[in-house]
Amino acid sequence: LAKTTQPISMDSYEGQEVNITCSHNNIATNDYITWYQQFPSQGPRFIIQGYKTKVTNEVASLFIPADRKSSTLSLPRVSLSDTAVYYCLVGALDTGRRALTFGSGTRLQVQP
């Protein structure tokens, strides 16, 4: 399994754009990149997923360079409610038998 490295914590202010970068140097050809969000005492929640280039949904954007050795989660105009832990996961594009492996995540603190 590809190991991921993320910053332990980040601070931001309301209304700012936040970019969280994840390093995954050993990503395999059939691996995809997924980001989850977790609030205290709640289960992780899927944010976005991608394989290459850029993916955007109503919540975030995911930028993946051509070498796929890193990825950046971009949260536009964060609010206080975006304070959470964000996990970058790398997993194979296979059946659901393989479990997702969580790293330590990035604790984002949004200030007013």
Partner 1 sequence: EPEVTQTPSHQVTQMGQEVILRCVPISNHLYFYWYRQILGQKVEFLVSFYNNEISEKSEIFDDQFSVERPDGSNFTLKIRSTKLEDSAMYFCASRGEAGYTEAFFGQGTRLTVV
Quote the least distance from Cβ 51 to partner 1, whole Å.
Answer: 10
Residues between 16 and 55 with contacts to partner 1, criterion CB under 8 A: 32, 34, 38, 41-46, 49
Q: Binding string to partner 1 for residues 57 to 96, with x set by CB under 8 A, is what?
A: ------------------------------x---x-xxxx
Quickly tell me which residue has 């790398």 as its tokens.
Answer: 90
Strands (E), 24-77: 31-38, 45-50, 53-56, 61-64, 70-75
Q: Which helix (H) or strand (E) holds 53?
A: strand 53-56
Does 10 contact partner 1 by CB under 8 A? no
Q: What is the dihedral of CA 3, 50, 59, 54, to 10 degrees?
A: 110
- The footprint of partner 1 (CB under 8 A) covers 32, 34, 38, 41-46, 49, 87, 91, 93-105
